Structure 1
Amino acid sequence: MTVGIPAPPSPTTPTARGGRLLIAAGLVLLVAAGAGVAWWQARTAESTASGTYATMAAAALPDSSARAPEGTRIRVRVLNVGGVPGLARRATNHLREYGFDVVDFGSGRSDGDTRTRISNHTSHADWPIRVQRALGVGVIGTDPDTSRYGDLTVYLGRDWRPPTETLRP
């Protein structure tokens, strides 16, 4: 009788084939799940583009008419009247990226209206249109302001959706 170390099972044993089948089945399920997620996102994007979701806000337009004119200082006040925490700060950052000089931001009293309103305090009719294009939403009105603290006041409602912020280290 010889005593020795048992040899490892060969790769063609039934247990090795079963492990390979399990791995192959797992990969097929992973690919199928990824395809399902891609299909769902494409379907959701089509629904949004066709206007099915009326609550989603339009994205800001990328053209130059959404920016402050070069060499012109447009002073903007941003007031959050929608009741969403942090909305005025995010709109301030967004408008500054478009070249507007946000001189003040904060929270205001909510009057129950969920729409964003832009009040023009100057005779420049194109300035509130530029802010409206930068935000993607807003109803424009005029409200003379003799203090001249700001050229425009943006009353942010719940209809404005801030763009996603990138993670900063």
Structure 2
Amino acid sequence: MDATFWAFVALIIFLGILAYFKVPGMINGALDGRAERIRNELDEARKLREDAQQLLAEYQRKRQEAEQEAQEIVSAAKHEAELIVKEAKQKTDEYVARRTALAEQKIEQAEQDAVNEVRASAVDLAVEAARSILADKVDAKTGGDLFKAALQDVKTKLN
């Protein structure tokens, strides 16, 4: 009996002990459990991937909606700016027209005042000239009476 034989016997005894304590079943159970855990983890990973794809699709949709809304806001702002510019131009034109009309009225009033002043000066000159001429030709009392009468006549015509 050599050492190889005893090694073989020890191996058989060792395998018998392993079989007696059901070690191959335990190893098999452990491997099956691990395979089941891996399968569960793969299923969970698949579910997470699907959820992530759904979230990605939802965020892409929301981003497109936000971009569209931003474009609508920009478009509305441009339209509003155009309206404001148009309204400002219209108000400016109206203001210029009012100021022009006011200036024309002031010019007309100034012209009327100048004409009235020239007329008043002409009347004063005419009266003074008439008084001077009459003073030379008429005595003082008659001249004073004529002057007063002429002055009264001019005053009534002006009013």
Query: Structure 1 length normalisation: TM-score?
Result: 0.26
Structure with bigger helix share is 2
Highest Rg: 1 or 2?
Answer: 2
Query: Structure 2 length normalisation: TM-score?
Result: 0.28
Structure with bigger strand share is 1
